[in-house]
Structure 1
Amino acid sequence: MEQKLTARPDTSDYRALLAQATPLIDVRAPVEFTQGALPAALNLPLMNNEERAAVGTCYKQQGQQAALALGHRLVQGETREQRLAAWKAACLRHPQGYLYCARGGLRSHIVQQWLKESGVDYPLVIGGYKALRQAAADAIDALARRPLVLVGGCTGSGKTLLVREMATGVDLEALARHRGSSFGRTLTAQLSQASFENCLAGDLLAREAVWQTLPSPFWVLEDEGRTIGANHLPAALREQMACSPVAVVEEPFERRLERLGQEYFVAMQQAWCEAYGEEAGWREFGDYLHQGLYAIRRRLGLQRFAALADIQAQALSRHQQTGRHEAHFDWLIPLLKEYYDPMYRYQLEKKSANIVFRGDYAQVKAWLAERYGG
């Protein structure tokens, strides 16, 4: 017996869709989805990129009716049945979801009608992606201007872990899929700027309910630059961060090394090998390390870069042969002491008037919990 869905009305409650990460069926073309999408959206297009381009050209040259007729000719027969089957399956997997197109117009209504004719009554997002995108931008503009405190500290201090432990902590690096440094790339490709902002809006809205319960609520964020990899922070957030108090985590150098070794050498090597297999995984891991160093070669000076690259290559070989990652410290320690630590201390000095607390990881965590209710 075919599963039936309870009929629900179309919606314009954009903030709820973002805050609850409601499952969404995006029927726009893949190129549109890549340019900007919602966190919980699944791309099942009515038309692929080539079909959409052909219909768009027809619309410009011959008008809406001709374009609509062409669209129906392109998506018919087996093609239509395959796409309809995919939509139906997604609807049944996500009975509380919605579908949307660019502006809540023809494409989403066509898909909705075809679904209804096949026995599936599924609601759409009024105004489509454009309305959701505007709601996300408005949410960031409003919520990012609320009070916040930054967690600062040199690389390996545990800033990201600390942010994640706070009830109102917003992990910008997780949202950006990048750890912020030249070695910040992860196995998951970064999203477009619009998609990153949509994810940020959803995260802020999801934590707003917690915010309301705290006695002295503040967002807790890591002290970041203007960009995280290829994504830049929205203007409202940058402006608020620039004048916000900073709590600095000051960890012993050996503890920082231990964290960095586990995160960048142990975890990353395992992740690459799990994704690509043992042989290719080690090769990809080595490329990742080399590219991270190569990206800052001019700042290091080409002679110093060449020396560290040689040490890195030898360390990678020993790591692969012995299974022990400590050889990487031979190039990581000078990189921290000669480049990353001086750079961050210089940046932090420019914010010295905003520093309100210093301590180790446990002390900063306790201070945040007591002072900000996080």
Structure 2
Amino acid sequence: MAVDATHLSELLAHGFDTVIDVRSPAEFAEDHVPGAINLPVLDNAERARVGTIYKQESPFLARKLGAALVFRNAAAHIEGPLAHHEGGWRPLVYCWRGGQRSGAFTWMLGQIGWRADVLRGGYKTYRRLVTQALYDAPIPHRVVQLGGYTGTAKTDLLQHLDRRGVQVLDLEGLAHHRGSLLGGMPGGQPSQKAFESALAQALHRLDPARPVVVEAESSKIGALLLPPSLWAAMKAAPWIEVSAPVPERARYLAEAYADVLANGERLRQILQHLVAFRGRPVVDHWSDLITQGDMTALTAALVTQHYDPAYDKSMRAVAPSVAVRIATERLDPASLDVVAGRIEGALQTMVI
């Protein structure tokens, strides 16, 4: 039986025991329905081979070869990762457009006695619903932005707020990037589509009736763009702004970015991109601090000579509505928990 989905929530709360993506590993790696497992009925090379035959030789020959490969691979999945399932198992299967790959695999599962269904329209249906939710319609959530100069521990504050039961949306975590020049993380970022899938799932879990705290960002985190519906909500959201002294922020950044600061040569290469903005003498001074190994002095210089001027410029351009300002002298865990408590209290009195 084919399952129709007209709203993203129907797929994110689908009720099936397992969601199976039978597309190739490369297709799955780019993006997939959250929680799906990948059991490809054609691997990357097989899919390319069948496609070439379809275009260059004959659709019939391509379908014949494709059928043989699909059933051979499906049999291996049934004997392997699916062998432990009992008769009542209920999977939802999808491919690119809900056609031959998912149809054949679902038929085979059904012949065994499993209650398998196929997603009508396949991944294309899912992607259309994600686009609808993040591009075409306003998000229903009551967003509050958490702002402040670089190094005011905003990401850590989100974790403290989350432990207090406050709803948070960790965009940098979803984007796998710390949102600044030095923000790259091991393993790189997900694809734009995968980022949007993770974002859509995170929003689905949040209660629109309660405030959602999100770290103030630009419209781009690393190489990833914030979808327009979320960006529109963020631009209209009130701010809670956190401040801390420069020496404390420098100390915090030296610890938080220790992995990046440890690679001096790579760090120099990154900072070279700022010559056009900050001038050669300033960047050369940063390079000298790297040579000296004084990372706290380096982060202090970056704060005062680059990050703070950039933030001030952004604030003049954006002119956000800052509802609450919270100052702290320290950014250690105990102090951050105190700040989180003040933010939680502010949320209860803010008009959002």
TM bucket, shorter chain: 0.7 to 0.9
Describe the superposition over 1:157-182 as per-residue Cα deviations: whole angstroms up to 9, x where unpaired. Answer: 12223334253321111111111101
Equivalent position SS for 2:178: coil
Q: 1:279 aligns to what? A: none
Partner of 2:208: 211
Q: Which residue of 2 aligns with 1:318?
A: none
Greater shift, 137-146 or 237-246, is seen at 137-146
Kindly indicate which of the two structures has a greater share of residues assigned to helix: 1
How many Å apart are 1:337 and its aligned residue? 0.6
- 1:352-371 to structure 2, matched below 5 A, reads 352=319, 354-360=321-327, 361-362=339-340, 365-371=343-349
Task: Percent identity, please.
Answer: 31
Write the letter of the residue equivalent to 1:302: R
Q: 1:88 aligns with which of 82, 85, 110?
A: 82
Cα distance between partner residues in 1 of 2:295 and 2:229:
39
Matched, 1:47 2:14: no
Contact between 2:175 and 2:221, CA under 8 Å: does it hold in 1? yes
Distance 1:261 1:21, change over 3 A: farther
Aligned AA for 1:18? L
Q: Distance in 2 between matches of 1:86 and 1:181?
A: 44
Whole-Å separation in 1 of the counterparts to 2:138 and 2:84: 32
The equivalent of 1:319 in structure 2 is: none
Counterpart of 1:129 in structure 2 is: 123
Structure 1 length-normalised TM: 0.76
Q: Secondary structure at the match of 1:236?
A: helix
For residues 241 and 41 of structure 1, the distance between their equivalents in structure 2, rounded to whole angstroms, comes to 30
Residue among 213, 224, 228 paired with 1:220: 213
Please, which of 247, 270, 276 is the counterpart of residue 240 of structure 2? Answer: 247
Mapping 1:167-186, distance limit 5 Å: 167-186=166-185
| Counterpart position of 1:28 | 23
Give ranges in structure 2 of 5+ residues lacking alignment: 328-338
Q: What amino acid does structure 1 have at the position aligned with 2:191?
A: S
Whether 1:154 aligns to 2:142 is no
Determine if the alignment matches structure 1 residue 17 to structure 2 residue 11.
yes
Q: How far does the alpha carbon of each residue in 1:91-143 deviate from its partner, in whole angstroms, 9 at most, with x for none?
A: 68xx6653321112111122223334556544333321111112222222445
1:241-271 CA distance string (max 9 Å, x none): 2232222111233332343233211xx37xx
Structure 1 segments unaligned to the other structure (5+ residues): 1-7, 273-281, 316-326
CA distance in 1, matches of 2:15, 2:282: 47
Query: By how many angstroms is 1:369 displaced?
Result: 3.0
Output the amino acid matched with 2:280: L
Match of 2:282 in 1: 304
Q: Which amino acid aligns with 1:200?
A: L
Answer yes or no: is 1:349 the counterpart of 2:346.
no
Q: How does 1:140-151 map to 2 (within 5 A)?
A: 140=134, 141-142=136-137, 144=139, 146-151=141-146
Give the drift of 1:27.
Answer: 1.2
CA deviation map 1:178-214 (0-9, x unaligned):
111011111232111111111111110111xx334xx
Q: Is 1:194 matched up with 2:189?
A: no
Q: Which residue of 2 aligns with 1:231?
A: 224
Q: How many residues align?
A: 332
Q: Structure 1 residues 338, 232: closer, same or farther in 2, change over 3 A?
A: same
**Structure 2 letter corresponding to 1:293:** L
- TM-score norm. by structure 2 comes to 0.81
Instruction: Give the direction of change, closer, same or farther, for the CA distance of 1:86–1:337 in structure 2 (3 Å limit).
Output: farther
**How big is the alpha-carbon RMSD for the aligned residues of Structure 1 and Structure 2?**
3.3
CA change 1:74–1:363 in 2 (3 A) is: closer
Mapped to 1, the partners of 2:317 and 2:85 lie a distance apart of 52
Contact in 2 for aligned 1:143/1:204 (Cα 8 Å): no
CA distance in 1, matches of 2:119, 2:289: 55
User: What's the CA shift for 1:358?
Assistant: 1.2
User: How far apart, CA to CA, are the structure 1 residues paired with 2:280 and 2:19?
Assistant: 49
Distance 2:314 2:84 in 1: 48
Distance 1:348 1:329, change over 3 A: same
Aligned mates of 2:273, 2:19 — CA distance in 1: 38
